[in-house]
Amino acid sequence: MRKWKLTCPSRQKTENKQSTLLHYKKFLQNEAGITLVELLAALAIMSLVFLLVGAIHIFGQQQFRSQSESAHQANDLSYALTAMTSDLRRHAFNQVEVTENTITIQNEDGSASTYSLINGKLMHDDTVLIDNISKFNAEKSSDEKVLNLSLGISSNEPGVMDKDYETSIYFRAEAVGGEGGDPFETDETGETVETTG
């Protein structure tokens, strides 16, 4: 049969405190730690990691800036070509005169409007359509019913390529004063269709 010992609760608490104190003393007297060489190696590795993360972050920012600038250029060129195309198609071919870097449109009310390249800016009369234009060429076809237009835009931002857009504008309005015959139109495929009557 098992014998029971009588224990005093206060004695157990005292023993527990003593063992805890002894454990802390051993912990404080322990001289194990890291050496200076290990600390320097850890700092060198952390520095390399921070440099790599910083380089990736800077590269990502540069890519974002160059892609934003490229998209901005494409939007500007698209807007300018759309505005010029819708304006020019409302007029007859004999209302439009093309000279070097200038397109002059004679309106029905006797006024004139112009598209011109001035100091790297594409201007519609006195309004700036887009900046940083490097090329603006307009040329009528031999029958003068088609205007071939090319625009180029440049950027000083590194990594952004210069862009060149070209389009052909078909004059849809009938010739003023009965000159030149029937107007031209385009169908859904972009093919030129001659209309009569």
Q: Is the pLDDT of residue 190 over 50?
A: no
Please name which of 74, 79, 62, 86 lies closest in space to residue 164, comparing C-alpha atoms: 74
Residue 14 predicted with pLDDT over 70:
no
Element (H, E) at 149: strand 146-153
| Model pTM score | 0.58
Domain boundary assignment for the chain: 59-194
For residue range 60-93, list pLDDT tens digits in order.
998 888 888 888 888 888 888 888 888 888 888 8
Chain segment 94-116, per-residue pLDDT in tens:
888 888 778 888 887 888 888 88
For 90-132, the DSSP string reads TS-GGGEEEETTEEEEE-TTS-EEEEEEETTEEEETTEEEES-
